Structure 1
Amino acid sequence: MNKQFLSFTSIVLLALLLVISLSAGTQAANDRPPNIVFMFADDLGYGDLGCYGHPYAKTPVLDQLAEEGTRFTQFYVTGVTCNPSRTGLMTGLFPARFPKYAADFGFGGRLTITELLKERGYRTGHFGKWHIGPDDSDGTYGIDTVKTIGKSRDRSAGRDTDLYSAAIEFIRENKNEPFYVNVWGHATHFPVNTPAELADQFKDVTVDRKDFSPTMQHKFDECLKIGGNLDESMRQYLGDVYQIDLNVGRILKVLDELGLRENTIVVFSSDHGPAPVILGKKGAREFSNNMLGYAGKFRGGKHEQYEGGTRVPFIIRWPDKVKADRVDTTNVCSFVDWLPTLCSIAGIEELPSQLDGEDVSDIWLGGDRQRTKPLFWKSSSTGSTPAIRVGKWKLHLPRKQRDRPELYDLSLDPSEGNNVAEAHPEVVGRLGKSLQAWVAELPANYEKAKER
């Protein structure tokens, strides 16, 4: 056979093999599930970011993240203190279902989102606050790398800098495979004691109480009652929020440097509403006057099941998947949906048999619909007051026998200032029946560690 023909044939075969190889590589890249970076603030209020309406905050990175993705205005946590909130998102179950307090005993064998992603081939990491069980060693809950890092050694850069640095190192080390990482900061949990380098960014801030909603005025009164100065306390708090923004910027910069922006889901949120000013019998606890977290127009905060305690900022970016520069004001989502939603996105089909959350990936990606499951809140204490949200309605059962139920139409009264229970007895009856049926499913008794 002609040598020239053989040579030509060889070239054609090599070219075909190259095309097949490139196609296979492209297909493999397309099949790779997205990375997930989840940044969780502690006690940050719904209204503490510029993009959520704070009159003085400087949060340019998070504001830009919201422009590049979707910002939700009806996103909820599963608990109004630190551990219950984290329990719900890790397991897809309302925390009141656990007979043993998860901060002391762990999740009792319940599957977690990190275990499911680990089985899917993800590298998993956790950096910062833990508060989800007694064991924080590597491998717990399927998390490859666990570093429960406290306040940064160099506080001038903010108290969360070290834990963000550790998360960045994890991202760099695992850039070539899908990864999931919890970056759980300490700001703005008590105490807020911000270094001058950060507080001075707000040295020109002078508090005008009229810039804030009526629901914030009691905090200002309490700050003054314990001898605080509103301007100085606000500068302290804003400086702590500002360091969160700076650290989020570091994460986003690294994702860009590594070429990971397009295939990474970035989420920023808070574990519940802002902490109260702490009033003591013998005077205030030190730095308590600096606890000026803002829940916007919503009533309540940390420890309370009103909207100020349960509704949080939620920003998500996933280029070309999640709509950019979108504000979702209609859909109701919760961190109880975190597990089933991420499993859907990652292609995980075998889920735990019992889940309280639902797959809201369609909503994340721009869809509009009513959620199919109600949202419940109740502390892990026998006899504590439960609450439920279904559609536009939110019902709080009475605290005591002589008290009345509280019903609010959140479409008209998001601040929960007008109890319409007497005007809508049929709604109270219907939601109350659902709420009592759910409470009947819960443990009769709860156990916490004897020494806390």
Structure 2
Amino acid sequence: MNKRYKILSLLLSLFFFNILIGIASEGEKKRKQQPNIIFIFADDLGYGDLGCYGHPYIKTPNIDKLAEEGTRFTRMYATGVTCSPSRTGFLTSRHPASYQKFMPFHGFSGRTTITELLHNNGYYVGHIGKWHISGDENPPHGTYGMDFIKVMGNAEEKTAGRDDDIFAEAELFLEQRSQSDQPFYLNIWGHISHFAVDPHERFSEEFNEVNVDASQFDKYYQKKLKKAQELGGDVNQSFRNYLGDVWSLDLAVGRLLKKLDDLGLTQNTIIVFSSDQGPAPVKMNKKKDPNVVANMLGWAGGLRGGKHEQFEGGVRIPFIVKYPNHVPEGHINTTSVLSGLDWLPTLCTITNTSFDVSQYEGKDVSEIWFGKEYTPKRYLYWKTNSPNGAVSILNQNWKAHYLKKQKKYVLFNLTQDAGETTDVAQDNPEVLKDLIEKVEAWNNTLPTSYLKGEKTK
């Protein structure tokens, strides 16, 4: 009897041991399958401010190569028209106007972020560069599930590109993580091309032969060039300064991509390049040097508007995704309408991270990243964090805006008029009626007052 008991005990022990080994193996397999994620986020970079998006003068060979090795999207939308609201949409998959407490002062009011979800699923999460998503500009490690946080401003060395320190820190991060089997997520949030664009001359000198030809651009940008000229400086030099600033960003991206190759991380890393919203305006401020103001010559690629505006130039952003053997190489998706709200559910799906679909506004668009072309059935909305903010709405190729000064809605067919030049409201009353009903119903769900206030301690 004792002999049989010992044999049975041995068999049971072997059985449970194999189960444990199997669980461990599955866990190890899952970790190896989970991709690393790098999110490079430019600041106020226009939709047209890259060579691969059609800029006639810019030099961005490294970012262009990223697009050649991945997929470039032409209908990607930010959720806000300024820095913090856009970041809010990406990180929380909730529209920024739904936050009663303004995010750069008060954070995300307890709402869960993609970084927290990934951290809870075994990711090592890092954030380097610009912050602007809570009242604490020196956030402790662990904030929003981020294991490592280093908030950084412009590079200390003037001769360097102003985002060089951020990318150098990111390279150190990669070196450290390359020694671990743990998957990582990293935000690299720069400052180019936010005001003030004032690069070292070694960058602007790269474009000394450039004299801007306004006829190469649309009427919106021609007005911008005229404003820069009216400030009294040399518009060609202002243009070169902007080109030089963006070029310095491209050089930094190139170094980062080489580091990934050198460390053997490229094949299992999702790299995404984007911008938080459209280009800042040439707008005079008595406290600012007019020569530097004139340098704000970002281009929205023929679209109307820019930062602070809900027209296409303010909310349509460059979006490039590279993920070897998963995201098609050299592909340009011109049809799928995507949103920053989709960042969280899409990454959760790709990384097998659990999330409650009902708590988020975005869609899982991983199949679109991987090559399918369709547009999720939904309406996209825009409004600033103000009870009196004007609303805008997009459905497929129809976009409507409420113009407060004129006290009316205007309607644009983006298929025929991406530059939003011609109001077609009178010719499409049923389309406009539907959009107005949807956007006003959405607006009624938002806070009726907003708390901005001082930064929290």
Shift of 1:153: 1.3
Q: How far apart are the structure 1 equivalents of 2:336 and 2:288?
A: 43
Is residue 429 of structure 2 the alignment partner of residue 431 of structure 1? no
Counterparts of 1:26-425 in structure 2 under 5 Å? 28=29, 31-135=32-136, 136-175=139-178, 176=180, 177-280=182-285, 285-351=290-356, 353-400=358-405, 402-425=406-429
Q: Write the deviation string for residues 299-344 of structure 1: whole angstroms up to 9, x where unpaired.
A: 0000000000000110110011000000100000011100011001
Shift of 1:211: 1.1
What is the aligned partner in structure 1 of residue 450 from structure 2? 446
Query: Structure 1 counterpart of 2:415, which letter?
Result: S
The 8 Å contact of residues 301 and 310 in structure 1, kept in 2 or not, is answered as: yes
Q: How far apart are the structure 2 equivalents of 1:303 and 1:297?
A: 17
Query: SS at 1:62's partner residue?
Result: helix
Q: How far apart are the structure 1 equivalents of 2:202 and 2:288?
A: 28
Query: SS at 1:294's partner residue?
Result: coil
Shift of 1:276: 0.4
Query: Structure 2 counterpart of 1:448, which letter?
Result: K
Q: What count of residue pairs does the alignment treat as equivalent?
A: 432
Q: How far apart are the structure 2 equivalents of 1:282 and 1:79?
A: 26
Q: How far apart are the structure 2 equivalents of 1:149 and 1:282?
A: 24
The 8 Å contact of residues 408 and 418 in structure 1, kept in 2 or not, is answered as: yes
User: What is the aligned-residue identity percentage?
Assistant: 48
Uncovered stretches (5+) of structure 2, i.e. residues with no partner = 1-20
Q: 1:282 to 1:345 in 2, by over 3 A?
A: closer
Q: How far apart are the structure 2 equivalents of 1:451 and 1:345?
A: 35
Query: Structure 2 counterpart of 1:245, which letter?
Result: D
Question: Which has the higher mean CA deviation after the structures are superposed, 37-46 or 352-361?
Answer: 352-361
Q: 1:25 to 1:376 in 2, by over 3 A?
A: closer
Shift of 1:348: 1.4
Shift of 1:286: 4.7
The 8 Å contact of residues 92 and 344 in structure 2, kept in 1 or not, is answered as: yes
Q: How far apart are the structure 1 equivalents of 2:156 and 2:33?
A: 37
The 8 Å contact of residues 340 and 351 in structure 1, kept in 2 or not, is answered as: no
Query: Structure 2 counterpart of 1:142, which letter?
Result: G
Question: TM-score of the superposition, structure 1-length normalised?
Answer: 0.92
Q: 1:352 to 1:111 in 2, by over 3 A?
A: farther
The 8 Å contact of residues 128 and 188 in structure 2, kept in 1 or not, is answered as: yes
Uncovered stretches (5+) of structure 1, i.e. residues with no partner = 1-19
Shift of 1:356: 1.3
The 8 Å contact of residues 390 and 404 in structure 2, kept in 1 or not, is answered as: yes
Q: How far apart are the structure 1 equivalents of 2:27 and 2:337?
A: 36
Query: SS at 2:298's partner residue?
Result: coil
Query: SS at 1:183's partner residue?
Result: strand
Query: Structure 2 counterpart of 1:140, which letter?
Result: T
Q: How far apart are the structure 1 equivalents of 2:416 and 2:162?
A: 39
Question: Which has the higher mean CA deviation after the structures are superposed, 57-66 or 27-36?
Answer: 27-36
Query: Structure 2 counterpart of 1:420, which letter?
Result: V
Query: SS at 2:358's partner residue?
Result: coil
Shift of 1:373: 2.1
> RMSD over aligned Cα, in angstroms?
2.0
Shift of 1:349: 2.4
Query: SS at 1:155's partner residue?
Result: coil
Q: How far apart are the structure 2 equivalents of 1:25 and 1:114?
A: 23
The 8 Å contact of residues 76 and 333 in structure 1, kept in 2 or not, is answered as: yes
Q: 1:283 to 1:355 in 2, by over 3 A?
A: closer
Q: Write the deviation string for residues 256-293 of structure 1: whole angstroms up to 9, x where unpaired.
A: 11111111000000000000012246996450000000
Shift of 1:352: 5.9
Query: SS at 1:388's partner residue?
Result: strand
Query: Structure 2 counterpart of 1:67, which letter?
Result: E
Q: How far apart are the structure 2 equivalents of 1:261 and 1:283?
A: 42
The 8 Å contact of residues 80 and 305 in structure 1, kept in 2 or not, is answered as: yes
Query: Structure 2 counterpart of 1:350, which letter?
Result: F
